[in-house]
Amino acid sequence: MVQGTRPLTQLASKAHWQRLGPLGALVALLSVLVIWAASVGAYSITINEAGDAFWRFIFGGTSQSQVDTVLFSVRLPRICAAVLVGAALAAAGAAYQGLFRNPLVSPDILGVSTGAGLGAVLGIFLSLPVSLIQLSAFAFGMLTVAIVYFIGNLVRGREPTLVLVLAGVVVGSLAGAVISLLKVLADPYDQLPAIVFWLLGSLSSIRSDDIYSSAPLVILALVPLFLLRWRINVLSLGDEEANALGVDSGKLRLLVIIAATLMTASVVAIAGVVGWVGLVIPHLARMLVGPNFDRMLPASMLMGGSYLLLVDTLARTIAPIEVPLGVLTAIIGAPFFLWLLARGREGWS
């Protein structure tokens, strides 16, 4: 009897490793990237110096002002912001791709990034303080998706997801047109460079307060996605199948849209428009752990945080001046996405 249970035990152990093994490897990768990002830059910090600084920070000791200032006031907030922004965009992309059953969907499918960009551009055009510019970006991002969802309910049809996508394209195009108009009207010596720099995305001016304001919103949005991960799997089968299995597809779709929009708007408000993360990273996560949303959500977040931390570290070190995040993510993401398309829909079904 004991011998007969051995194959079952081995299968359970193998399934457990297949579930947790890739996630453990991604955690290790993220840890290595955090250490590397903390040590490189214009002011080099060795691993020993970083370890001593953390020891002093936790247990107290004689402060080395320059090392501590660079590490805790400049680099660590930026590292935390890069991980937060990458994880949030990747999680939102994974949720949207499962919701719309389409691997070509990104977090901006309903116009949240364009709406947030309009809010930030309007704030810069009105010469508002930085905090109000971020608040305006967040509010306009949420408002844009609310308008899209209202139009989707107003124009009812047999394909509600298709109506939402088309409404997102229309509203996003209108927001983009207003952004262009404000760029034409802006002061070319003061406001226009700030507008262009914000639209390209950057973490160069990130502060600890930005993380404190954005992280709770991201965590709040992740809670329903995590609790409803099994129902989101069912929703990816289609509305008719989901309803037949007892899932209210309309309410669940609205909840997923709210959660993904809240995540995207909160991080775009502090980092600007950073493209391709929410489109490419969920593909990689799906290829690594499969389409099950239960595993794909944490894998997407870990890969998204690692990817954007790597890109941001390169952005501040590869050139004498800082390269905007949106430029690097497009240069890396576009060819890589073409390679993914050439491989077909592997891991999607």
Per-residue pLDDT reduced to its tens digit, 258-310: 999 999 999 999 999 998 999 899 988 988 998 888 899 999 999 999 999 99
| Residue 324 DSSP symbol | P
Tokens found for residue 253: 């779709």
Which of 56-60, 176-180, 272-276 comes out lowest in average pLDDT?
56-60
- Between CA 44 and CA 73 the distance in angstroms is 15
Q: How far apart, in whole angstroms, are the C-alpha atoms of residue 58 and residue 61?
A: 9
Higher per-residue pLDDT: 130 or 12: 130
Within 8 A by CB and 6+ apart from 243, the residues are 249
DSSP, res 127: T
189 DSSP assignment: T
CA 167 to chain centre: 22
Pull the structure tokens for residue 270: 């502090």
Tokens 């890109």 sit on residue: 311
Residue 248: pLDDT over 60: yes
Helices (H) and strands (E) in the chain, counts: 15, 0
Does residue 28 have a pLDDT over 50?
yes
Q: How far apart are CA 116 and CA 110, in angstroms?
A: 12
Contact of 221 with 145, CB cutoff 8 Å:
no
pLDDT computed for residue 17 by the predictor: 53
Question: How far apart are alpha carbons 17 and 83 in whole angstroms?
Answer: 25
The residues, any chain, with a CB within 8 Å of residue 120's CB and separated by 6 or more, are 133, 134, 136, 137, 140, 195, 198, 199, 269, 272
- Residue 229 — very low, low, confident or very high, per pLDDT cuts 50/70/90? confident
